[in-house]
Structures are given as C-alpha cells and as structure tokens.
Structure 1
Amino acid sequence: MSQDSINRLLDRLEALKIGFDDKARPRLLKILGQLSRREIKDADALIRLHEMLLFICAYPSNREVRRRAEKILSSFKRRVESLREREADFSAFIDPEVSGIVGTAFSSTFTYDIAHWLALHHPKNLTFDFDGYESDARLGETLPRFIPLLEEDALVEANVPFREWMRLAAGVERQEVAWLLESFRKLRVSAKERAELYDSLQLWICWHLNKYSASRTGHRAPLRPREIFYHQEALLRRKDVSLEAELNSPPFELKKVSPRDGRALLDFALETSAARYRELYGFTHGDFQQVFHTHAGRGTDIYFFGVPPERRLPVRAYHAALIFKNRVPIGYAESLTLFERMEFGFNLYYTFRDGESAWTYARALHLFCQLLKARAVSVDPYQIGHENEEGIESGAFWFYRKLGFRPVKSEIAKLVEREERRLASRENYRTSARTLRKIAEGHLLFTLPPAPRSEWDNFHVRNLGLAAQRRMAQKFDSDSLKFRRASVERVADSLGLRVESFREDERRAFSDWSLMLALIPDIERWTTDEKMAVLNIIRAKAGRDEARYIRLMQKHERLRREVIKLGS
C-alpha cells in the first residue's frame, strides 16, 4: 500500500477516534483491521498511528475496539525493527512529544536519582552517549575516585578514552552505566553531595526501550481499576464543566494504598515520566507510605501523594498525583500549598489533549482541594506561556480563563477584557501570540468562599525568601550561618521552646521556619495559645502527613495575616 493510502487511513482514524455512536464503531473497527495488516514504512506515520492507538485505549467505545488497538500496539516493536532494517530516519522518535515508543532509544542528561533508578531497573538497556560531550575535564576530576591509576592519563593527557577505561573497570558482566551509578552509590558522602557530584558531570545516557511494559507503548497502571469505562456518547468538553460546581460537589471516596503498592505506583510514575524526558519532584522523591487513591469517574483513577519529611520544602507543602484513564497514564498534577492558597500545576500528556481535558482538570483539582482544604488556587505564569512557547501555541490562557480564573495584575486584567470584547464582536478572531505573551506575565487566581477575593492577589512566596536575604545582608553581614543561628535562637526564645528536645526532622523544620518567623517584629508578644499553635504547625511539617500541616496552618489567623503581609 502506498504512503498516500496509509495517510488517508490515518486521517479517517483521526476523525473516528472520538466517534462513539453506533455508526462510527463498525467503521473504526474496519480501519483498525486494515491498519493491523499494513506495513508502515514512514516513521512519522508510524508515530501518528501509535499516538492514536494510545488515545483509543484510554477512550475506547467498546471492548473490541480497545482489544484491537492493544493488539496493534503489541506489534510495534516488530514494526520499529522493520523501519530500522530499512535504515529509515529515526530522528522523529526522539521528539519529547512522542519519545518512549517501544523499540526506540533516546538520550538525556538524567539526574542522579533518575539515572540510579534506571540503572537498578534497566541495567542492560542503558549506554553512555558521548557524541558531542564537552565535560571531559569534569570526568577527569571525578572518575579517579572509582578507577585506579586513571589520574596518570586524565590529569595530563588530551583525548582520554574515558569510555574504554570505564568499560574495562566495569568488567564483562556489567554495563558501564550500571557500574558507574553503583560506584556513586557507594561514595561515603551525603545523598545531596552524591547527587550534586554526579549531576555536575552532565552525562548523557541513552535508554534503549526494548521492554514493552517499560515503554510508553505498554505503560499501563500497575494497580488495576474496578472496570474499563466505555464511551457511548460525545466526550465532555470545556463548556460542560463548571469549576465552581465541581469544587462544591460531594467529596471523593479515598483509599490508602499499601506501602508495597505505593512503591510500585511511584516506580511506575518515575518510569513513565522519564520516558517523556520529564522529571517531577514528587515522582522522584514521593512518599510510598502515604499514597491515596480515588476513582474519579469515567474510567479515571487518581493517585495522590506527598514527599517524606527529609525531602520537604522549607515552607510550602508539596503534593503530586498521577492520573490514569482506563489504565493508561494520561497526565499528572502537583501542588504547592500555604494556608488556603494552592499553586496548582496540571499537565495532560500530548497524546490525550483531544480528550476530556477540562473535566479531568476539574476532578484533579477537586481532589487536591478536598485533601488540602484550599480555597484560592493560583496558576503560575509558566503554565499559560511565560517562557513556554508550548503554552502560547496551545492558547493555555483561555483554557484557564474559561474555567473561571482571573489575572491579578490590573494591567493584564484590562488587556484580557479588551480581548474578550474582540472575541465577542469579531467572527474568527484569534488572540495573537504577542498578546498571549503579555497576558502570561502574571499569575491567575481562582477563589472560592470563604477565601477573600483579593488578599492573595499580590502574594508571592519568593518575597518571603527575598525578605530573609535582605535581613541577612543588613543584620548579619551576609553570613548565612550566623543568620540561621540567630533566627533559631530568637524564635525559640520568643516561643519559649527548647530545640534540643526536637527530633532531627523537627529541628530541620524549625530551623527553616525560624528564618521566616524572625521577620515578624512582635512575635514574642503573641498569646501562649498562638505560640503553641505555631509549634504544632512546625511539628506537623516534620510529621507523617504534610496535609495535616496545612490544615493546622489554616486555623492560625494571626500567622496567616503576617505571612500574607510579608509576601505581598
């Protein structure tokens, strides 16, 4: 079959993948049958088929449609090998939008934590990629820790064959990548120092996706859902979704996942993210003992988790979630919460953006707000296109605006009002990329009662840190150790505490919080109850469940007022 004929079949599949009526299903099955028998000789066409099949697996109209899509996907390793034998151009397979297809490979400078995980789970499928590598000097300084006599070569010679040195040091039974990562693991340094040392090398690792279940092609939820949801009607669109109604709807039923299943879920999250060149803080450092699951409806399962005490941020609470649709991973969300204000990031993988994006967003946000009691939701400028051309091209701002988010900067609000008038009065009008970039210079906010509409408008958590730097420079000669020690002593004295009795995690949390509390001028005059409440908040920061930390914080009105003042 000619490439033109293949493209026509793919065009028909594109139109039918969201057809859920009785007439569309037979036609969809017929096209899937035809494509299953066709040999595709073009990488772009094969990728296009791959992405549509994944979409169909996530949004199937019936059991047979899903079964056929899965069957064709199971043939992809053979199809990719066939392209390789023809010496086809494989460059399209490394694009971040489509990377991770079984049988392909891609290179990335994975961080230590990701590289170490990959070396543990896929040791035979990793190789170093030294094409264009420009950090030989760093290698020469670091590798002698693991390779005896390498200094003789590395410190004085040019063009040192580091790959040969590593190959011989690793031996015939090990790949160089797995050997080097294991060598780093054995270093007698802190976890932070180990990661910094490895990351400074900027090593490119090529991941060969030879295993079907480890590729995007075969990634399916490690924990099975109740049942597959088959779509019988048109997909829900943005106009069908009211964010306010969703956030005021009945709460989700939640189930805590066992530590064993939590570990499997987080391993999966890290793997499916790495296959897309992505690294999410919560996936890398998630707390497998605090994973919660809910069935969000329509075949959607959401797994929510935080990070353990040693990985927490100084002030905000961090949480993340992985989202599945009929066992297929379709996206993720993450939040940074302070009092009732939550910065919420949401990302649907490219393949699934023709699906029920607004509904999925609303359900995920509902879960986060339920667990963290957030009433003011902030969207970072990056999400809508600030230094993010993908957000500009997709018109991400209008996605949020139509859900009810508003810009907080007055000049941007006026610009949005002008654009909305133009959209209402001019047929086929589209907001220019230049205007979208101006709109993306400020964050968006969505508030629900009882959160006041404007209190958080000008708040930025970064302002807390910048205020601390000014105090450090003015009062402590820019000496961070003196500043931290003095802050701990002052706050401990003001609150009447003995820090020596704290656990290690509590001491770390208290030290970080002291840097902010020391900025409050009259904290020593707070009531005993107010001081005790601050202590309980700090202890909760180091506790098992960081959501409790947020709930306690929300009850401290005086602390809330002072923090908003400092950060605005």
Structure 2
Amino acid sequence: MASLVDALARPLPPLQRAPRALAEALIEAAHVAMATRQRELHAFSYPNPDDVLLVDVDRGVRLAFVGILPGFRLPLEGYYAFLALKNGIPVAYGGGWELFGTLDFAVNVFASFRQGESAFLATELLRAYRRIFGMRTIVVDRYQLGHESAEALRSGAFYFYHRLGFRPRDPAVLRVLEAEQSKIAADRSYRSPIPILKRLAGAEVYLALPGGHREPEKRLRATDVSGLIARLIARDFGGDRGVAVRESTARARRELGVTGWTAWPTAERRAFAQLSLVAALIGDLETWPSVERRRLVRVFRAKGRGSERTYANLLDSHRWLRRSLEALVT
C-alpha cells in the first residue's frame, strides 16, 4: 500500500478557480450543510466568492476550497476552508492554515459518510492543499485527535491519522502508543479505551514531507508572533493597539521605501498596516538588502489582494522574514 507521502507526490488534476455563480452556489451549500448540523466555520461566515478553488478527483468527489474576504483573514497564516462533495452531496468540511511550509489540517467527515472513504478523502484533500500551499510538514492538533473533543475520541481519530502515517513526537505519548501497540499485537480484538485515547491525544501528530521541518514541534507558530506583538504593544505603546498600528505603519513605509501609498486599494493598505506590527519586531529591517525589503512589501500587499494562495506562497518564500522571526522566539 502506497504511503501518504507517496500519494502527495502524485500529480493532481489542476485546481480551477470557480466561476462566480458556481462559487456562490458552493458557498451556499456550505452554509446549509453547517447550519443543519449547528456548526460554524470562519471561512464560511466570511467567504470570498472570487477565491474559490475546485478540483474533481476520483469516485465522484469534488473538493471546493474557500478563501476568506481580505478584511477577515487570519493575521499571518494563509487559510482555505473546504467543502467536500460526493455526487453533489456535502460529505465533509474542514480547513488548512499554512505558515512557512507547515500546514495545520483539520477534517470532519459528516457522521453518515464515515464508512470506508474517510482515508481517501483526507488523502485527496491533502494532495490539493499540497498544490495550493506546497507545504513540507503537516500537523494535526490535539483537538482533532480527541483532546476536549468527545466526538474525535469516539471516532478513534488518533488511529485514523496514525494509519495515514502521522506520528507523535511527545515522549509521554510515544510511551503510551508503544504500550498500546504491544497490546494490539498480542490481541487483535483489543481496542484502546477512552482514557487511553485521551492520553494519545495529548500532543500534536506530524507528517514530514520532503524538505519538512526536522523538529516540527519547535516550528515558528503564529501564536509565537502574536505573543511578541502583544508584548511590543504593551511595552512601547502603553497597550494601545491603534497607536501601535499607526506608528508601525509609518515606520514600515519609511524603512521599506513604500511609494504611492494613497493609490493602493484600501484592502492592501489595511493588510500592510496590520502586518506592519510584524515588521516592527525586526530591529534591523532598514539594513536588509533592498530586494528583500521590496519583496516584503509584496508579501504585505498580497494579504489584502484577491488570493490567499498568492500571499501564502510569497510569505513562504521570504526566508529573511522567517529567519528574523525564528531568531526572536528561539
């Protein structure tokens, strides 16, 4: 049986941008699917109908990836939610958010469709995310595995991801897993009880692709950057975020050599202003090579443009920014 890593390397039918009418119909299908199950997803609440990507795969499955309107996007990561349909019927939803080559992935297959094809769906979704983001590491967080989620515990989510090739790195979880695998090997009818599944869900699990992070548990996270920004605002601006944004924007415009500011679209100026708080963390920004500063301007502007895919790819390729931020949190 081919591994998930091998599957992600196989060619995928091209992703297509959905025509506006089809995009709106898919967004409405997502709204209905979520409302009837009393669930909500940020991207489906603030969808961008001009940034819906489609791919049709085998077994009558269509995957629709929904971007977020610029004013409602996550502060740093690139993000697409998805709706999976089989023969036109919604069967799963979830999302993927990516930062510097690491994709956090979450999938929820609707209960009535969990028999048999969940692994196929997860594989095809990750193949599509690979096309969108080009991630090199995939992470599934504790909640998806069963931490504070009774539904994930009942469904055996940890073992679902384990069969796909995801592995924990936390020593305590590894010890529990080793003991459980010994019990399973000795008795094929054995099933891990709920208390054990809770312990297995005690830490993230990872799948490393070529070029992936060797120690993904030590990766730079958006929460790390948010924490640095919060401390910066408290220390340098008396806790006033509005003042921090205004002064950081002025500084970033000056140090990055921004021109034609007033002619920029409003969404791009807003995105640049919010990301200027990230730039404010970098003490030597004005000493960067001019080409790297120009590239950073393109990254910041892209956050307010039509496609999150473009933004995420530009951000991922900006090694100066990544290394500067990593140096601040290590």
Deviations 1:201-220 (A, max 9, x none): xxxxxxxxxxxxxxxxxxxx
Q: For 1:26-105, list aligned pairs within 5 A.
A: none
What does residue 280 of structure 1 align with? 41
Q: Is residue 2:255 matched to residue 1:494? A: yes
Q: Is residue 2:246 matched to residue 1:519? A: no
Helix, strand or coil at the partner of 1:543: coil
Letter in 1 for 2:319: E
Q: Distance in 2 between matches of 1:437 and 1:521?
A: 43
Helix, strand or coil at the partner of 2:244: helix
Q: Is residue 2:102 matched to residue 1:328? A: no
Q: Distance in 2 between matches of 1:241 and 1:320?
A: 27
What does residue 387 of structure 1 align with? 148
What does residue 208 of structure 1 align with? none
Q: Is residue 2:298 matched to residue 1:536? A: yes
Letter in 2 for 1:502: W
What does residue 312 of structure 2 align with? 550
The one of the two structures with greater contact order (alpha-carbon pairs below 8 A, sep at least 6) is 2
Q: Distance in 1 between matches of 2:263 and 2:171?
A: 49
Which moved further from structure 2: 356-365 or 332-341?
A: 332-341
Report the structure, 1 or 2, having the larger strand content: 2
Label 1:412 to 1:500 Cα distance change in 2 as closer, same or farther (>3 A). farther
Q: Distance in 2 between matches of 1:493 and 1:430?
A: 61
Label 1:533 to 1:348 Cα distance change in 2 as closer, same or farther (>3 A). same
Q: Distance in 1 between matches of 2:329 and 2:265?
A: 29
Q: For 1:65-214, list aligned pairs within 5 A.
A: none
Contact 2:92–2:108 (CA under 8 A) maintained in structure 1: yes
Give the Å deviation of 1:323.
0.9
Which moved further from structure 2: 314-323 or 423-432?
A: 423-432
Q: Is residue 2:193 matched to residue 1:419? A: no
Give the Å deviation of 1:378.
1.2
Task: Give the one of 480, 503, 521 matched to 2:265.
Answer: 503
Give the Å deviation of 1:540.
1.2
Q: Distance in 1 between matches of 2:302 and 2:39?
A: 30
What does residue 3 of structure 2 align with? 242
Contact 2:136–2:213 (CA under 8 A) maintained in structure 1: no
Q: Is residue 2:258 matched to residue 1:483? A: no
Task: Give the one of 102, 116, 127 matched to 1:355.
Answer: 116
Q: Is residue 2:269 matched to residue 1:269? A: no
What does residue 258 of structure 1 align with? 19
Letter in 1 for 2:224: N
Helix, strand or coil at the partner of 1:253: coil
Contact 1:533–1:556 (CA under 8 A) maintained in structure 2: yes
Size of the aligned set, in residue pairs, is 329
Give the Å deviation of 1:450.
1.6
Helix, strand or coil at the partner of 2:38: coil
Q: TM-score, normalised by structure 2?
A: 0.92
Which stretches in structure 1 are left out of the alignment for 5+ residues?
Answer: 1-239
Give the Å deviation of 1:566.
4.3
Task: Give the one of 59, 63, 68 matched to 1:298.
Answer: 59
Identical residues among aligned pairs (%): 32
What does residue 169 of structure 1 align with? none
Which stretches in structure 2 are left out of the alignment for 5+ residues?
Answer: none
Give the Å deviation of 1:416.
2.6
Label 1:412 to 1:519 Cα distance change in 2 as closer, same or farther (>3 A). farther
Letter in 2 for 1:511: A
Give the Å deviation of 1:306.
0.8
Give the Å deviation of 1:504.
1.2
What does residue 563 of structure 1 align with? 325
What does residue 471 of structure 1 align with? 232
Q: Distance in 1 between matches of 2:219 and 2:185?
A: 30
Letter in 2 for 1:395: G
What does residue 81 of structure 1 align with? none
Label 1:553 to 1:528 Cα distance change in 2 as closer, same or farther (>3 A). same
Contact 1:241–1:359 (CA under 8 A) maintained in structure 2: no
Label 1:564 to 1:409 Cα distance change in 2 as closer, same or farther (>3 A). farther
Give the Å deviation of 1:545.
1.3
Contact 1:333–1:364 (CA under 8 A) maintained in structure 2: no
Label 1:265 to 1:455 Cα distance change in 2 as closer, same or farther (>3 A). closer
What does residue 209 of structure 1 align with? none
Q: Distance in 1 between matches of 2:249 and 2:53?
A: 35
Helix, strand or coil at the partner of 2:48: coil
What does residue 167 of structure 1 align with? none
